[in-house]
Amino acid sequence: MNTYDQDRFAAVDENGWIIFDNRQIEDSQIASEFYKNLQFLPNRSFGSTIANQAVIVEAFDCPLIVHSFQVDTVARKITLTFNYSYVWELEFKDFVQTVMSRFYLDVWDRVYGLLSNGIPFSFSKKAHGELLDSLDEFDDESFVFDGQRVVLDTLWHDESQLEGSAWWDQAYTGERQTVTNEEYQKLTGQFAINPGWNLEAPAETLKDMLPRMKLPKSRVLILGCGDSHDAAFFAESGHKVTAVDISAHAIERSKKLFGHLPNITWLQSDLFKLPANFQGSFDLVYEYTCLCALNPELRSQLIQVWSRCLHDQGQLMATLFCMHKRDGPPFGGSEWEFRELLKKRFQPLIWNRWRKSVSRRQGRELFVLAQKRKL
């Protein structure tokens, strides 16, 4: 594939149709080229080509969606039909060994598959039903097709080690240093470790959107604040910020960097054990790189925390990572998943893919501004 242009994007909508230059692609040959050249970019975004032009691919769900799953028991063949009549035909044994063996389930029991290069595909409701109807039997752990049982993987693997402070403290201090973090700072005046997620600057979405939103002076809650560059940006814009992190080392670093700012309060705490007086106390919850860092099994609980901490007219401002990455941190996600997670408690006001990210995050950021719902 050619070097991708950070200014050229193609979207794949919820139904699997390709959108390029604000119009839906109709030509099946262009779509075939697009599917053939799908690949992961170095930052885990998707990439492909359209008319020999390299593009970053923004998929609402997966880049490919199966719309028909047909079984020919006489010829012993499986036919998967995607958009644009793009067809994948396999023998029964090849389907079991090379396709079904790579199936996995999300928390909504939706089935996903993987191409040989790891690119994911999903099923429309119709095709999902046809797939299940073709099975000899199935449960949440396995599928049986043509007498052969395949154990299914889950979308997320066990990541419970991320739930305590120890893992995050080690990420900030490192485990193989020859001097302590404090000694290194005395010697160099710098932090011994700069975690890979740290941009050492406010997020691009925040720098762009906050001035344009013209928010009144607000009480802002930031969970998973890290080094607090975003918290400082809010504070310097006149907002009153409460910044929380589970890592004592993150709080220490934050105070060294921004302790001179009068309107930031820091708290070292488990995000799920916040003080009772946080409930209904904030105008805005700001989210960036916290949801993607948690054990994914806790995502719905974190969203409940956001909702509880906001007053009835409060809002969520979030930048979420859309990428296919099942391990982490950071863990991936899709617009489909984020919509399902948020819809009970938040009403989106702005929902846009962000196309002005730093290069290592280009193509995978989703900006959301949402109003808290009354339950």
pLDDT at 162: 74
Asked whether residue 55 is domain-assigned, the answer is yes
Q: What is the pLDDT of residue 199?
A: 78
Q: Are residues 298 and 359 in the same domain?
A: yes
Give the range of the structural domain holding residue 23, as residue numbers without chain letter: 9-59
Does any domain span residue 180?
no
- Tell me, yes or no, whether 232 and 345 share the same domain: yes
Q: Looking at the structure, do residues 107 and 135 belong to the same domain, yes or no?
A: yes
Number of structural domains found in the chain: 3
Write down the pTM of the prediction: 0.90
Cα–Cα distance between 357 and 74 in angstroms, integer?
Answer: 52
> Which segments in the chain show pLDDT lower than 70?
1-6, 173-196
- Residue ending a domain, among 59, 80, 98, is 59
Q: What is the pLDDT of residue 172?
A: 73
pLDDT reported for residue 159: 74
Whether 253 is in a domain gets the answer yes
What's the rounded Cα separation, in Å, for the pair 362 and 142?
Answer: 36
Is the same domain home to 207 and 354?
A: yes
Residue 178 lies in a domain: no
Same domain, 89 and 54: no
Residues ≥6 apart with Cβ < 8 Å to 322? 58, 59, 332, 333, 334, 335, 338, 353, 364, 365, 366
User: Sheet of 120-123: strands edge to edge?
Assistant: 64-66, 120-123, 111-114, 104-105, 153-154
Handedness of CA 18, 21, 24, 26 (dihedral sign): negative
78 plus 22 within the same structural domain = no
Regarding whether 38 and 102 lie in a shared domain, the answer is no
Last residue of a domain, one of 20, 40, 59: 59
Residue 105: C-alpha distances to residues 112, 113, 133, 140, 343 (Å): 6, 9, 17, 8, 21
Q: Do the strands 111-114 and 46-50 form a parallel or antiparallel pair, or are they unpaired?
A: unpaired
> Could you give the CA distance from residue 369 to residue 342 in angstroms, rounded to a whole number?
11
CATH code at position 77: 2.30.270
- pLDDT at position 130 is 98
Distance of CA 69 to the CA centre of its chain: 28
Tokens of 177: 């240093």
How much is the pLDDT for 31? 96
Residues whose CB is less than 8 angstroms from the CB of residue 75 and which lie 6 or more positions away in sequence, other chains included:
none
165-219 pLDDT tens trace = 777 777 776 643 433 444 434 444 444 456 667 778 999 999 999 999 989 999 9
Does 301 reside within a domain?
Answer: yes
Residue 69 sits in the same domain as residue 121: yes
Kindly state whether residues 221 and 258 are assigned to the same domain: yes
